Chains A and B, each alone.
Chain A
Amino acid sequence: MVAVQSRLDRLVRPTFGRHLLFALAAAVVLLLLSSQIGAYDDYNLTAVAIFAVAAAGLNLLTGLNGQLSLGHGALMAIGAYTASLLLKDHHQFPVIVVLLAAVLSTGVIGIGFGYAAARLRGPYLAGATLTLAVAIPQVATRYKSIFGGESGLTVAPSSPPDWLGADFPPERWLAWIAFAAAIVTMVLLANLLRGAPGRAFKAVRDNEAAAALAGINVARTQVLAFVVSAACAGLAGALLAYWTGVTAPAGFTLALSLQLITAIVIGGLGSLAGAVWGSLVLVFVPLLTSGMASRLSLPSSVADNLPLAIYGGILVIAMLVAPHGIQGALRRILAYGRARWGNTPGGGQKGVVDWDDPAPDT
């Protein structure tokens, strides 16, 4: 009995339990929040959850394993096309099946690409992943009869179950699906990063030779990081297919990959929370700037481009003010507060910082 208890303790108390508690709290907050706000806000929060899934995967790869990918938009496209092909011709599949299929297909492609990526470093890796971003949308255009060409494949929305009532907004239902997917992803990733794989990721990132000497299989670690990261992108892509209602090459341009990189840099490289912050910025700042631009009466050539210009400006300022991203800045503020008022429960950083980061104070 005692043995079982201590075993359970060992399993639950340090990390898994904490993550689960955190996830439960997040689920309750999101559930309450989504029921209080309008359908359009639900729709935007869904986008945050979707981008958070993809950005968390990319942050694991780039922030924690040091592999830069310019091709995550294309991996999202693979997930989105998997979902859309399953739902083609009004086929009915439960959402969970569609999402898992997308994770699986993107994960498998991630293995292949991960092996290639593990042989490449720095700019060569960036270049190789760039080809992915450029080539994948072309495949959809080339094989029109399967992928629907430029106009893509339409995706029927997942309608809310009957027990929620007839006038339950479909936007809220999709938001719940996306929140659930995001929370599950975050818990799984947090556990992975807390364990041996997470430590291996960081060891390889910091010094490959040292990691190899310590007995870590560098190539396998890199492939693993790529596969997990790709699976996240696939999940996000499938959710995006539901969210957009269509999967078309124009939705998966290089710009999408760059947006994801923006999200993790702004949010905070190497931290899962940073992926969430970055996704919030990615979704809400453009909404804000387009509102600002339309309120000024400017010539159309200026007004049309102003939202992008303001968005760019905000990113520049954010990087100047918080070079370690939003999560880095928050840590700094917390650390400052702790030093100032000397309240350090559990001692030092550990109590606050949930998962790793690349040394915010250096």
Chain B
Amino acid sequence: MKSVMGGNALRIRAIAILCLAGLLAACGTSGDSSSGTNTASAPGITATTITIGSTQPLTGRAAPGYSEISPSSNAYFNYVNDHGGINGRKITYYYYDDGYNPTNTASLTRKLILEDKVFAMFSALGTPTHLAVVDYINSQKVPDLFVSSGCNCWNDVSNHPYTFGWQPDYTIEGKILGQYIQKSLGGKKVGYFYQNDEFGTDGVKGLDAQLGASSVPDASRQNYVPTNTNIGPQIAALKASGAEVVVSFSIPAFTALALLGAAKLGYHPIWVVSNVGSDVTTLTGLLKNFSKGAVGGALLGGMVTDAYLPLTGDSANPWISLFKGIHDKYVSNLPWDANVLYGMAQAYTFVQAMKAAGRNPTRASFVKALETTKLSGGPGLAPLGFSSSNHLGFLGVQIYTIAADGTQTTTGPVYTSSDSGPISQYSGSASTPPANGIP
């Protein structure tokens, strides 16, 4: 899907916004203009500000990699603020450290809603952590946007009408990875290595739906819990089962452990790894760290994975150059990797949604606008699928492979699907970013 507006119209709009911002700065809150007046239309929205909040693992076991997401979102918001904000309103983004502990998430979410009076929750990270507060957030009728987790539990419109996911859910991902295995690695024996929670089991659900549950025997289904780093027995069992392809629904640390464990046993299957566990920068660092420098990124050669955003190394992609530019200007202390891209792309979707909701949205009208406006996918490879019956964001991924030198190459088209529906090839073309980088 092409960008909705041409470059010219956007430039004019950007100039208008800049003028408005200038006006606001000059004469305080008298924001009169032909296009309406800013009012304090909802909690967290004043004539000049929009306040949103998030809970994130900035410290603790889930922090490596994931702690980069919220500063990157904030960098994009600062970029928007420096270019006039949204309808003249500056975005204030509070993100608090919950250490991936649901008890902390519960209290910090109350702080954001009751004390900081945020308009919406944004990008709150983690399945167990966010499950702790999803009922509460909905009981307070606070928009709960773009949960940073691929659990399909966020798509529960009747019980959680204010909650929206963003990334493709793990079942869809499993189905499309399964299809790739059927098409390109057909006839090979398949094994699973997965995290023993919603993340892993949802992924396996998708794989089984595609490959057929009976095609993978129990001996080839090995799982791990994130608190136990000794995964040697599982890898040995996979080797013994004769699996030639191992699909891994694992977080980065356990992808690295599995690769090292297999290499130690002289076991070299084709690794097919879920998006959340395959970032090359993070994995290379972990492999070097775990092996005390003995092996590095070369072990990643031949890995198959998938993406729903452009690849960070694809400098020809206009989205990548836009976000890389913002990264270099606002958060250059973070490595340029998939987590940074993730945070910025989420922030982009938020600004899109905010603009779609009009000048003076209420919490309810904002949710309504998100369900009824057809948003472009922005940097996403597939369009956003929000509707009154679907609260999942991106519904498609593209397969890519990783070479021994870390080069990433996409292969095949973008496929879309749903938890129960068929897989279809996405025929739309990628959108291009607006000239000023703001939707």
User: Contact residues of A with B, CB < 8 Å?
Assistant: 38-40, 43-44, 47, 137-138, 141, 144, 149-152, 154, 156-157, 171, 240, 243-246, 248, 250-251, 253, 255-256, 287, 290, 294, 299-300, 304-305, 307-308
The 5 closest A-B pairs by CB, nearest first: A246-B132, A40-B114, A150-B197, A304-B58, A244-B106
Given contacts A40-B111, A240-B103, is CB(A141)–CB(B225) below 8 Å?
yes
**Interface flags, B116-155, vs A, CB<8A=1, else 0:** 0000000000011101110110010000000000010000
Task: Tell which of B94-102, B279-287, B371-379 binds the partner.
Answer: B94-102
Given contacts A47-B107, A245-B135, A304-B59, is CB(A151)–CB(B114) below 8 Å?
no
- Closest Cβ of chain B to A357, distance in Å, is 30
29 contacts between A and B (CB under 8 A): A38-B115, A40-B114, A40-B115, A47-B107, A138-B227, A149-B196, A150-B225, A150-B226, A151-B128, A151-B131, A151-B151, A151-B198, A157-B136, A171-B114, A243-B106, A244-B106, A245-B135, A245-B136, A248-B131, A253-B101, A290-B97, A294-B94, A300-B58, A300-B67, A300-B71, A300-B334, A304-B58, A304-B67, A304-B97
How many chain B residues sit at the interface, stated as a range, is: 35 or more
Which of A244, A246, A300 has the largest count of B CB atoms less than 10 A from its CB? A246
Contacts of B115 in A (CB 8 A): 38, 40
Contacts of B333 in A (CB 8 A): 299-300
Residues B227 and A141 in contact, CB atoms below 8 Å apart: yes
Contacts of B197 in A (CB 8 A): 149-151
**Interface flags, B383-417, vs A, CB<8A=1, else 0:** 00000000000000000000000000000000000
Residues B97 and A144 in contact, CB atoms below 8 Å apart: no
Contacts of A256 in B (CB 8 A): 103
Residues B131 and A152 in contact, CB atoms below 8 Å apart: yes
- Closest Cβ of chain A to B347, distance in Å, is 16
Residues A250 and B59 in contact, CB atoms below 8 Å apart: no
Residues A244 and B59 in contact, CB atoms below 8 Å apart: no
Q: A150-B127, A240-B103 are in contact. List 17 more A-B contacts (CB 8 A).
A: A43-B114, A137-B227, A138-B225, A150-B198, A151-B128, A152-B132, A154-B131, A154-B132, A156-B135, A244-B132, A250-B102, A250-B128, A250-B129, A256-B103, A287-B111, A304-B59, A305-B59
A250 to B226 Cα, complex, angstroms: 11
Contacts of A307 in B (CB 8 A): 97
In the assembled complex, B329 has its CB within 8 A of some CB on chain A: no
Q: Which one of B71, B103, B114, B136 contacts A38 once the chains associate, using CB atoms below 8 Å?
A: B114
Q: Which one of B102, B110, B135, B196 contacts A144 once the chains associate, using CB atoms below 8 Å?
A: B196
A243 to B104 Cα, complex, angstroms: 11
Closest chain A residue to B98, Cβ basis:
A250
- Closest Cβ of chain B to A339, distance in Å, is 43
Residues B103 and A244 in contact, CB atoms below 8 Å apart: yes
A152 to B151 Cα, complex, angstroms: 14
Residues A39 and B103 in contact, CB atoms below 8 Å apart: no
- Closest Cβ of chain B to A336, distance in Å, is 38
Contacts of B71 in A (CB 8 A): 300
User: Contact residues of B with A, CB < 8 Å?
Assistant: 58-59, 63, 67, 71, 94, 96-97, 100-103, 106-107, 110-111, 114-115, 127-129, 131-133, 135-136, 139, 151, 196-198, 225-227, 333-334
Residues B128 and A40 in contact, CB atoms below 8 Å apart: no
A307 to B98 Cα, complex, angstroms: 12
Residues B110 and A40 in contact, CB atoms below 8 Å apart: yes
Given contacts A251-B102, A300-B333, is CB(A245)–CB(B133) below 8 Å?
yes
- Closest Cβ of chain A to B76, distance in Å, is 15
Contacts of B196 in A (CB 8 A): 141, 144, 149-150
Q: Which one of A138, A245, A308 contacts B106 once the chains associate, using CB atoms below 8 Å?
A: A245
Contacts of A149 in B (CB 8 A): 196-198
Contacts of A248 in B (CB 8 A): 102, 128, 131-132
Residues B225 and A246 in contact, CB atoms below 8 Å apart: no
A125 to B27 Cα, complex, angstroms: 69
Closest chain B residue to A287, Cβ basis:
B111
A344 to B424 Cα, complex, angstroms: 86
A237 to B113 Cα, complex, angstroms: 24
Closest chain B residue to A170, Cβ basis:
B139
A243 to B132 Cα, complex, angstroms: 10
Residues A43 and B107 in contact, CB atoms below 8 Å apart: yes
Closest chain B residue to A150, Cβ basis:
B197
Contacts of B58 in A (CB 8 A): 300, 304
- Closest Cβ of chain A to B298, distance in Å, is 28
Contacts of B133 in A (CB 8 A): 245-246
Q: Which one of A244, A246, A290, A305 contacts B96 once the chains associate, using CB atoms below 8 Å?
A: A290
Contacts of B103 in A (CB 8 A): 240, 244, 251, 256
Residues B100 and A250 in contact, CB atoms below 8 Å apart: yes
Contacts of A287 in B (CB 8 A): 111
Contacts of B111 in A (CB 8 A): 40, 287
A138 to B225 Cα, complex, angstroms: 9
Closest chain A residue to B106, Cβ basis:
A244
A217 to B96 Cα, complex, angstroms: 51
Closest chain A residue to B62, Cβ basis:
A250
